[in-house]
Amino acid sequence: MNATLIKRLFRVIQSGTSADVDVLCRRIVDEEKKQGHGRVAKELEQILTAKQPPKSGPHTGTLQRLPTSRRESAPLMQEIPVDKLRHHMVLPDSVERRFHRIEKEFAARTRLAKHGLKPRHRILLYGPPGCGKSLGAERLAWNTGLPLRKVRFDTLMSSYFGETMTNLRRVFDAAQNSPCALFLDECDSLARSRTERNDVGEITRITNALLEMLEDYKGDGLVIAATNLDSALDSALFRRFDEVLKVPLPGTEEICRLLKTTLSPMETDAGIVWREIARAMDGMSGSEVVHIAQNAAKHSVLEGRRSVGEADIRRALTEILERQQAQE
């Protein structure tokens, strides 16, 4: 195997997703075949096909039947399989440290309990769209080994009086009885859908019920809520969380890392001035930056080139900017 491939393999293991590792492994097999190392290539291929699914976390064995809504028996939660959890995030150091602290405290929960202490376990993630709030919840589940169970607001919200509350109670009871990372994604949707119905009494009752359930939650897992809004959320709700984490827009440094990470399964031209390109993406979300890098990679593959160049990235950037302008 040549040095470039070895370096790329290490880079991908360090920062890529398991899909990236797969792509690169297949390139290595091709390379071995091309060099006439048929036996090695075959053995490597066999290893790839015999690949085991990722090990489940310490709690996945405890999976019990997930709760359903009373009237329609529709599932109130959806469990994301461990091998589908994305967990590679690019964050400013200060934010990364706070994520890491939650994971460290969880890992040390038995030691903390001996001193009467509890790990931070009620987490609120907020920030602009596309910057990694949902990804952050997946990463917390991955790193703690907890199964990620996402609340389905579509089935939770019932038009029948009092039923939403019963459903919410079922969700929290289930989380209490079987440790998991209970994920209330876009939790502001609770407030929004209630406002649309203009049922102020119901809004207050459900918000209060949610506050109470958060406060009473004594489970061994995590409760993670995510929202785009920081002002519209009830300030009492903010107080109920023991970690309120802003997931910010990426800065120049993070944009550079996002571009390089996304492009890590590909070769990139030497001499790309990453910081300059990143500066041109100032104010964009992580999701937009990843899209630009993916589009640049696709373009270079379609053009039959093996290496992504600065022009590919700039082209993809211009395309996104033009699309945004057209929408304004």
Residue the block writes with tokens 């302008």: 325
Which helix (H) or strand (E) element contains residue 245?
A: strand 243-246
Residue 248 exposure: Cα atoms within 13 Å on the Cβ side: 15
Least separation in angstroms between CB 92 and ligand ATP:
9
CB of 198 to ligand ATP, least distance (A): 25
Lateral strand order in the sheet of 181-184: 77-80, 148-151, 181-184, 222-227, 122-126, 243-246
Residue 256 CA to residue 99 CA, distance in Å, equals 21
Q: Beta-carbon neighbour count of residue 98 at 10 Å?
A: 16
Q: How far is the CB of 299 from ligand ATP (least distance, A)?
A: 18
Between residues 131 and 140, which has the closer beta carbon with respect to ligand ATP?
Answer: 131
Question: What residues between 110 and 129 interact with ligand ATP by CB under 6 A?
Answer: 129
Angle, CA of 108, 113 and 116, to the nearest 5°: 135
Q: Please say whether the dihedral angle defined by the alpha carbons of residues 138, 140, 142 and 146, taken in this order, is positive or negative.
A: negative
277 binds, among ligand ATP, Mg ion, none (CB under 5 to 8 A by kind): none
CB-wise, 134 or 268, nearer to Mg ion? 134
**Nearest residue (CB) to ligand ATP, 174 versus 223:** 223
In the complex, the smallest distance separating the C-beta of residue 186 from Mg ion, rounded to whole angstroms, is 6
Cβ atoms of 211 and 237 within 8 Å: the answer is yes
How many residues sit close enough to ligand ATP to count as binding (CB under 6 A)? Answer: 16
Q: Taking CB under 5 A as the rule, does residue 227 contact Mg ion?
A: no
Closest separation in Å from C-beta 54 to ligand ATP: 18
Binding mask 105-144 for Mg ion (x = CB under 5 A): ----------------------------xx----------
If we measure between CA atoms, which residue out of 57, 56, 51, 55 comes closest to residue 21? 51
Q: Which of residues 213-232 bind ligand ATP (CB under 6 A)?
A: 228
91 belongs to the binding site for ligand ATP (CB under 6 A): yes
Is 134 one of the binding residues for ligand ATP (CB under 6 A)? yes
Residues at the contact surface with Mg ion, assessed by CB under 5 A? 133-134
